């Protein structure tokens, strides 16, 4: 829900656009020497000694989130993570973000304070400067657009296009949890609509719900790889589903790939929830999306450096392009991988 009916409600029109910006951004601090000028002028000024990477994401109410069960503070936090994950996927370090929102008049000031509290928490934890943005009105609902800037030495940049034949395919963490968290939230929302007095016990699903509502960008993985003296040959973040991401890597690198079903890392809660929902856990892992793990390839020569590391799992290897992209099932069947992950432009998708 947007707000508790018993809480204060301050109309945004009472502040005006510039008053609103000043109010929401007054507690952001500048931490980086590369931020020469942050909020308060016509434009921010940043300086980089190295290469600058830039990424942006737009989150739209009713397409990317449902405020019936997404707390605004969590939404603010997640909107930052979506962008930071892309920066880490370039093997870069995020330094600054801009935040722009479009909001309808059904939102009071207190709701936006919650949203920005989440953004501020993310900026503090991940050591990010918020250096600008914009606010405007919306006819439909809430829209959030965040742009992130990061820096990286030229020789350390990792693209999607560097995978080579025989490279190992590696995945951080586990996948499928965020999608299942969404399914649980959607189910309980439908129950609530029928019986508003119902109070669900979601403790069993705490891991997968947190993965959906409050994901964490994997800033630890570039640090780990540097410590191990391993530079990925290609890398991408898992936002739209493992199947889509491996196909992106293969397309840009002009290679094929083989992934082994038995190697895909799944949390026990994912397996049990799939059984409850009568879903196939491998299908969810391949197509679920929003896990924000990092998928990357490394040379076979680096195998001894990464084997048995608890933060990452080797799930397959790169082939020649003519061999295609396949999954080897537990029954040793070879199945072509197709992109069936999240697509915001799919008119037939479920919200």
User: Residues 265-287: pLDDT tens digits?
Assistant: 999 999 999 999 999 999 999 99
Which tokens sit at 92?
A: 């870069």
The answer to whether the beta carbons of residues 236 and 248 sit under 8 Å apart is: yes
CA distance 268 to 313: 16
Q: What is the 3-state secondary structure (H, E, C) of the chain?
A: CCCCCCCCCCCHHHCHHHHHHHHHHCCCCCCCCCEEECECECCCEECCCCEEEEEEEEEEECCCECCCCCCHHHHHHHHHHHHHHHHHCCCCEEEEEEEEEEECCCCCHHHHHHHHHHHHHHHHHCCCEEEEEEEEECCCCCEEEEEEEEEECHHHCCCCCCCCCCCEEEEECCCCHHHHHHHHHHHHHHHHHHCCCCCCCCHHHHHHHHHHHCCCCCCHHHHHHHHCCCCCCEEEEECCCHHHHHHHHHHHHCEEEEEEHHHCCCCHHHHHHHHHHCCCHHHHHHHCCCCCEEEEEECHHHHHHHCCCCCEEEEEEEEEHHHCEEEECCCCCEEECCCCCCCCCCCCCCC
The answer to whether the beta carbons of residues 224 and 267 sit under 8 Å apart is: no
Work out the pLDDT band at 263, boundaries 50, 70, 90: very high
CA distance 285 to 291: 9
Q: What is the pLDDT of residue 199?
A: 81
CA distances from 306 to 6, 42, 234, 300, 318 (A): 53, 47, 16, 10, 17
Q: What is the pLDDT of residue 343?
A: 54
- 76-80, 130-134, 156-160, 171-175: which has the minimum mean pLDDT? 130-134
Average pLDDT of the chain to the nearest whole number: 91
User: Which pTM value belongs to this model?
Assistant: 0.90
Interval 110-129 mean pLDDT: 96
CA distance 339 to 138: 33
Burial of 259 (0-12, 13-18, 19+ CB in 10 A): buried
Interval 27-46 mean pLDDT: 88
User: Residues 328-341: pLDDT tens digits?
Assistant: 999 999 999 997 75
Interval 213-217 mean pLDDT: 97
Q: What is the pLDDT of residue 248?
A: 96
Does 347 score more than 80 pLDDT? no
Q: What is the pLDDT of residue 7?
A: 58
Q: What is the pLDDT of residue 266?
A: 98
Q: What is the pLDDT of residue 350?
A: 41
User: Residues 165-207: pLDDT tens digits?
Assistant: 999 999 999 999 999 999 999 999 999 889 888 888 899 999 9
Give the domains, in start order, of the chain with CATH numbers. Answer: 14-156 (3.30.1330.10), 168-336 (3.90.650.10)
User: Residues 224-262: pLDDT tens digits?
Assistant: 999 999 999 999 999 999 999 999 999 999 999 999 999
CA distance 160 to 249: 5
Q: What is the pLDDT of residue 336?
A: 95
Work out the pLDDT band at 39, boundaries 50, 70, 90: confident
Q: What is the pLDDT of residue 202?
A: 92
Does 12 score more than 90 pLDDT? no
């Amino acid at each position: 829900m947007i707000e508790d009916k018993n809480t204060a409600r301050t109309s945004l029109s009472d502040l005006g656009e510039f008053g609103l910006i000043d109010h929401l951004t007054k507690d952001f601090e500048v931490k980086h020497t590369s931020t020469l000028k942050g909020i308060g002028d016509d434009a921010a000024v940043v300086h980089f000694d190295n290469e600058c990477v830039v990424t942006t994401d737009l989150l739209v109410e009713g397409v990317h989130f449902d405020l019936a069960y997404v707390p605004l503070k969590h939404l603010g936090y997640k909107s930052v993570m979506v962008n930071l994950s892309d920066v880490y996927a370039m093997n870069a370090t995020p330094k600054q973000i801009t935040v722009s929102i479009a909001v309808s008049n059904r939102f009071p000031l207190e709701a936006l304070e919650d949203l920005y509290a989440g953004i501020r928490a993310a900026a503090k934890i991940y050591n990010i400067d918020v250096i600008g943005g914009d606010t405007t009105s919306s006819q439909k609902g809430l829209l959030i657009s965040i742009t992130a800037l990061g820096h990286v030495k030229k020789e350390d940049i990792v693209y999607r296009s560097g995978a080579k034949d025989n490279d190992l395919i590696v995945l951080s963490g586990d996948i499928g949890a965020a999608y299942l968290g969404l399914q649980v939230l959607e189910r309980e929302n439908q129950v609530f609509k029928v019986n508003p007095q119902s109070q669900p016990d979601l403790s069993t699903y705490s891991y997968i719900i947190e993965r959906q509502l409050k994901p964490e960008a994997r800033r630890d993985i570039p640090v780990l790889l540097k410590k191990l003296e391993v530079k990925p040959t290609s890398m991408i973040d898992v936002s739209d589903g493992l199947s889509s991401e491996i196909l992106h890597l293969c397309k840009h690198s002009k290679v094929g790939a083989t992934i082994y079903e038995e190697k895909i890392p799944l949390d026990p809660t994912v397996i049990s929830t799939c059984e409850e929902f009568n879903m196939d856990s491998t299908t969810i892992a391949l197509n679920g999306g929003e896990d924000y793990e990092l998928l990357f390839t490394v040379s076979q020569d680096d195998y001894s450096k990464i084997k048995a590391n608890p933060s990452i799992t080797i799930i397959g290897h790169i082939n020649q392009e003519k061999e295609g992209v396949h999954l080897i099932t537990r029954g040793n069947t070879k199945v072509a991988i197709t992109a069936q992950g999240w697509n915001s432009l799919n008119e037939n998708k479920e919200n």
